[in-house]
Amino acid sequence: MRDMLGRESAVSVPEARERMTRHVIAGEPPSVLTTLDKAYQRILSEDVFSPEDLPGFSRSTVDGFAVTSSDTFGATEGLPAYLNVSHEILMGEEPSFRLLKGTASKIATGGMLPQGADAVVMLEHAQYADGGLIEVLKPVAPRENVISAGEDMKKGEVLLRKGHQLRSQDIAALAGVGIEEVKVYEKPKVSIILTGDEIVPLGRAVRPGQVRDMNSFTLAGLIRKNGGIPVKKGICKDVYEEIRNVVRESLDDSDMVLITGGSSVGTKDMTAEIIEGLGSPGVLFHGVTLKPGKPTIGAVVDGTPVFGLPGHPAAVAVCFEVFILPVLRMLTGREEKEYQGQKRIRVRLARNISSSVGREEHVRIALEERDNELWAVPVLGKSGLIRTLVKADGTIVIPAPVRGLEEGEMVDVVLF
């Protein structure tokens, strides 16, 4: 839609998002070597192959007796197989002997099978008899109660794929095959520029008419939580040249640029104008059918995403969720599956919520337990109030075509 002057009016959320992802150039991020103790949640920048077999030898998975399985075939409690216990295998040692037919070796969980042995009889299925013999009461199949050499990982096998985000068990597996360092993607840097003559940094006294910066804290936390590095660029006065210089510098030294505030009429247009002058394609949308967050600016400058965010605290949080997060994820290099996104729960709505058709609404809600069931209670209040975010446990999204939601309806809550 365009207004009478030919300017485009607000675009839909999906359209705005699509324009961003189409123009952002998310090249492969640079790699960096990291040790395992710093690798948690980092994203692999190359496939990792196992340099060796894991385990390197056949191991017992139980406490018992290493045997030749064929020696136990047909054994029962009534007619046990008798085996001569020739050796005891020490943990961490390579058995220096070969197991002969008709003999067994005492072995503990994790012990190395001697040559000639191909299975382990559990302690519970054997009993000692006279003359250094054991009675085996139950047969074992070949490889029963054994982890064979290379059964966990084979040398040369792909252990983990490029783009995978490392979890605790992945790091354990890397350690298990002796890998001490991995190549991961560098985290994307996201510049946060605050604008507004009324904004005062933390630690400075506020005079009447001034307010303290809150948005840089919300944004920095969310950026860090989602795998980026926030770079605070301070607070700009509402002066064209000043803002322009900081935006230009930020385009040079970061992977995404966020400009928040600029709440005065003049500044709103100023932000868009500054972005337009710095590269192409420039502003992709200016105004979106989203509540809160309508005046958001989305832009790409020579491949780098730039957002102009409204100053209201709740609008900043919603814009992060809706626009910034999908772009940030592109920049991290993570191969993400759909279910890996936000934590959601499905609960019952505690009261009617009306919504305008044609506008996607994000409603902050608090979870309340009533009769052993969780209910989503809308947190009322202007989007300029940080308390609406502090009192809330998550948000529900009312899509643009929906007129509203009814009390008692089941809703999906995206948890903070």
Q: Which is nearer to a second copy, 157 or 278 (CB)?
A: 157
| Tokens 């890397």 found at | 174
Provide the token pair at 78. Answer: 């009534």
Distance of alpha carbon 77 from alpha carbon 136, whole angstroms: 8
- Gap between the terminal Cα atoms of the chain: 34
Please identify, among the stretches 58-66, 70-78, 79-87, 251-259, the one whose residues bind a second copy according to the rule CB under 8 A: 58-66
3-state secondary structure of 18: helix
3-state secondary structure of 173: helix
Do 42 and 166 touch, CB atoms closer than 8 A? yes
Which candidate, 104, 98, 44, 49, places its Cα nearest to that of 71? 104
Distance of alpha carbon 213 from alpha carbon 233, whole angstroms: 12
Q: Which is nearer to a second copy, 22 or 161 (CB)?
A: 161
3-state secondary structure of 161: coil
Q: Which is nearer to a second copy, 305 or 310 (CB)?
A: 310
Q: Does 122 bind a second copy (CB under 8 A)?
A: no
Question: What is the footprint of a second copy within residues 21-40 (CB under 8 A)?
Answer: 36-37, 40
Question: What is the footprint of a second copy within residues 395-414 (CB under 8 A)?
Answer: none
Which candidate, 206, 172, 177, 202, places its Cα nearest to that of 53? 177
Q: Does 218 bind a second copy (CB under 8 A)?
A: yes
Q: Figure out which of the listed residues 100, 357, 380, 415 binds a second copy, where binding follows CB under 8 A.
A: 415
Q: Does 374 bind a second copy (CB under 8 A)?
A: yes
Q: Figure out which of the listed residues 5, 6, 130, 207 binds a second copy, where binding follows CB under 8 A.
A: 207
Q: Does 214 bind a second copy (CB under 8 A)?
A: yes
Q: Does 69 bind a second copy (CB under 8 A)?
A: no
Q: Does 3 bind a second copy (CB under 8 A)?
A: no
Cβ atoms within 10 Å of 114's Cβ, excluding its own: 21
Q: Which is nearer to a second copy, 108 or 278 (CB)?
A: 108
Question: What is the footprint of a second copy within residues 333-372 (CB under 8 A)?
Answer: 337-340, 343, 345, 367
Question: What is the footprint of a second copy within residues 318-337 (CB under 8 A)?
Answer: 337
CB of 252 to a second copy, least distance (A): 24
Question: What is the footprint of a second copy within residues 256-295 (CB under 8 A)?
Answer: 263-266
CB of 166 to a second copy, least distance (A): 9
Q: Figure out which of the listed residues 30, 168, 252, 371 binds a second copy, where binding follows CB under 8 A.
A: 168
Q: Which is nearer to a second copy, 67 or 301 (CB)?
A: 67
Q: How far is CA 258 from CA 10, 92, 176, 189, 195, in A?
A: 20, 56, 42, 11, 11
Exposure of 366 by Cβ count < 10 A (0-12 exposed, 13-18 middle, 19+ buried)?
middle
Q: Does 4 bind a second copy (CB under 8 A)?
A: no
Question: What is the footprint of a second copy within residues 229-248 (CB under 8 A)?
Answer: 238
Q: Does 171 bind a second copy (CB under 8 A)?
A: yes
**How much of the chain is in helix, strand and coil states, percent to nearest 5?**
25, 35, 45
- Per DSSP, what are the bridge partners of residue 90? none
